[in-house]
Amino acid sequence: MRIGLLAAIALALAACSPPDAGKGKAEAVLASARAPQADETHMVGQVTSVEDGGYPQFTVHVLQNGVDLPLYLNAEAADLGGATPASFQGATAEITYRTTPANNLADLRVNGHSLLNGDAEPTGPSVTGVLSGASEVTAGDLPGLIVVTDRAGQRTEFEYYVTPEIVAANGKQVTAFYTADTVNRITAMRPAGR
């Protein structure tokens, strides 16, 4: 009689548990991924490579419709659902990213003298004004934000690793040569189909 009662309890408990606990866990992970915001793009593509740019920066190459799209990833800022960037290598992933304008600093000059590239002849657009945001050398793995403000008050921003030479020019008039570009930064990434 005792064995029959224990068997009946075990059957009752088994009937109350979910049929596939792993499936529920996967659905919970998917549900935790947020919907893209209005200024973000969502895509599904094959991750062909993940290049380490010095933690936490990575370049993730995604093949979508036969085209290689480089996306930039700050592993500390993006929602990866607990995964590591390298775990996406070779996988199909759902990726949400934001495209923003970016100025790539090519040269920074004080009185005609280059602080970055020797004295090669600069090319591209330029802005002349007062340098700010460069009060100390970049200490971490992420670039700092430096700004050149022209006479009209127009600010041109650059993400750049601040060197001692750039610190010495902080607060002085400089000419920055740059290229205007866009950057695609990953805000969320998950394996596809999960």
pLDDT of residue 34: 64
Closest Cα partner for 70 from 53, 56, 87? 53
Closest Cα partner for 52 from 74, 77, 69? 74
Three-state SS at 95: strand
Alpha helices in the chain (DSSP H): 2-16, 21-32, 164-169
Pull the structure tokens for residue 163.
């060197």
Choices 1.20.120, 2.60.40, 3.20.20, 2.40.50: CATH for 103-180: 2.40.50
pLDDT of residue 11: 37
pLDDT of residue 37: 84
pLDDT of residue 118: 73
**pTM metric for this prediction:** 0.65
Using CA of residue 87, residue 91, residue 96, residue 101, what is the dihedral sign? positive
Show me where the domains of the chain are located. Answer: 103-180
pLDDT of residue 124: 85
Render each residue's pLDDT in the chain as its tens digit; 194 residues. Answer: 444 433 443 434 344 444 444 444 334 334 445 677 888 999 999 999 999 988 899 999 999 888 999 999 999 999 999 999 999 999 999 999 999 999 999 999 999 899 997 767 888 899 999 999 999 999 887 889 999 999 999 999 999 999 999 999 999 999 999 999 999 999 999 999 76
Three-state SS at 187: strand
Tell me the C-alpha distance between 13 and 19, whole Å.
12
Tell me the C-alpha distance between 151 and 130, whole Å.
8
Place of tokens 């380490």: 52
Rg (CA), the chain: 25
Three-state SS at 184: strand
